[in-house]
Amino acid sequence: MFLYTFYLRQLLLEGEPPVSAPDSDRLDEIERRLRVLEDIKEIEYLQHRYVRCLADRDWQGCVDCYADDAVCDIRTHGVKRGKKEIEQLILGELASMVKSRDAYVLSSPIIHVDGDRATGRPASGRGTATSASSARRSA
């Protein structure tokens, strides 16, 4: 209670909280780490949104998930640089390949944040959705 009272007294008398230089450095580090965690969560959400667009066959939604300067490397389709190349890939090749029963799995994202740049690579897979009854019939 004493520290809390002291803190309030300092705040009222001086107008600023009593933060020493080491505490200020520590707060800066905590803020930096929090910012990285928030960035990682945003990227995870973006990856989830992308897969939802795939599942819904919302090809323009998939394109909209990419930044203008994005780099995309989808297995055998080669590296695509910039939103225009990525859009051509998604609206051209990929949209025509996807079958109506395709299913997607996205897990274990590895995300690296470096300032205002980030890279992300989830483990992903594509398969054909089947019902349990059809799986039993084919067994």
Q: Is residue 4 part of a domain?
A: no
pTM above 0.85, yes or no: no
Q: Residue 120 has which token pair?
A: 């992300």
Q: Is residue 129 part of a domain?
A: yes
Structural domain count, the chain: 1
Q: Is residue 11 part of a domain?
A: no
- Write the pLDDT tens digit of every residue in 44-102: 898 889 888 988 889 999 999 999 999 988 878 889 999 999 999 999 988 888 776 66
Length of the chain: 139
Q: Is residue 56 part of a domain?
A: yes
Q: Is residue 20 part of a domain?
A: no
Domain hosting 71: range is 31-138
**Domain harbouring 114, CATH code:** 3.10.450.50
Q: Is residue 9 part of a domain?
A: no
Q: Is residue 118 part of a domain?
A: yes
Q: Is residue 105 part of a domain?
A: yes
Q: For tokens 């066959």, name the residue.
A: 57
Taking Cα atoms as reference points, which of 60, 69, 68, 66 lies closest to residue 92? 60
Q: How far apart are CA 123 and CA 75, in angstroms?
A: 12
User: Across the chain, which distance is largest between two alpha carbons, in Å?
Assistant: 79
